[in-house]
Amino acid sequence: MSSIILFTGGARSGKSRCAERYATRLSEHVVYLATATADDDEMRLRIEHHRRRRPSTWRTVEATAHLATVLAELPAGTVVLLDCLSLLVSNLLLANESHPEPAINRELDDLLAMVDQRDLTLIAVTNEVGMGIVPAYPLGRQYRDLLGLANQRVAAAATAVYLVVCGIPVELRALEAAWNRTEL
């Protein structure tokens, strides 16, 4: 049975590390779906740091978009760690600046459908960017809004959603259930 688990939080909150620990509990053989590109020295160092942390039994696939085509090739039951949804949205925004929202929605439609179709476990990492200051420039505001909408879509499809703060994962579905039980 397919499932989606989402890890969100701020920069350097420990999201990726928590998602990696979660994936390790599920399978020794994980497909790590990396959406980052090494465009500068700082990003190359980040990517290398993440690579060194992963178990040698994990397979890394780098893809900046069209993730459903990668998932279509995986056997049923595969555990996939997508790191990260934030960069996927950024990649699609920059590739489709005049009309990014349809491209992002198509990507998410295809991704979520393929998880179901292939009976995969998708563990997705994303950034929570809506809790900070409002970006000073239009592209930054557009990115914040598009990522917020993408996060909501993936969270709605997820069986578990973890907010990671200071390296501590807090499961939000349990809090949501408690909130739903209260009388307003």
Radius of gyration of the chain (CA): 16
Options 29, 50, 66, 99, the catalytic residue? 50
- What residue numbers does the annotated binding site for GTP cover? 9-16, 34-36, 51-54, 62, 83
Residue 96 CB partners (closer than 8 Å, separation 6+):
102, 103, 104
**Element holding 19 (H helix, E strand):** helix 15-26
49 tagged catalytic: no
| 168-171 and 160-165 strand pairing | antiparallel
Distance CA 71, CA 108 (A): 13
Q: N- to C-terminal Cα distance for the chain?
A: 35
Distance CA 111, CA 82 (A): 11
- Taking the CA atoms of residue 121, residue 18, residue 61 and residue 143 in that order, the dihedral angle to the nearest 10 degrees is 100
Q: Determine the 3-state secondary structure of 6 from DSSP.
A: strand
The residues carrying an active-site annotation are 50
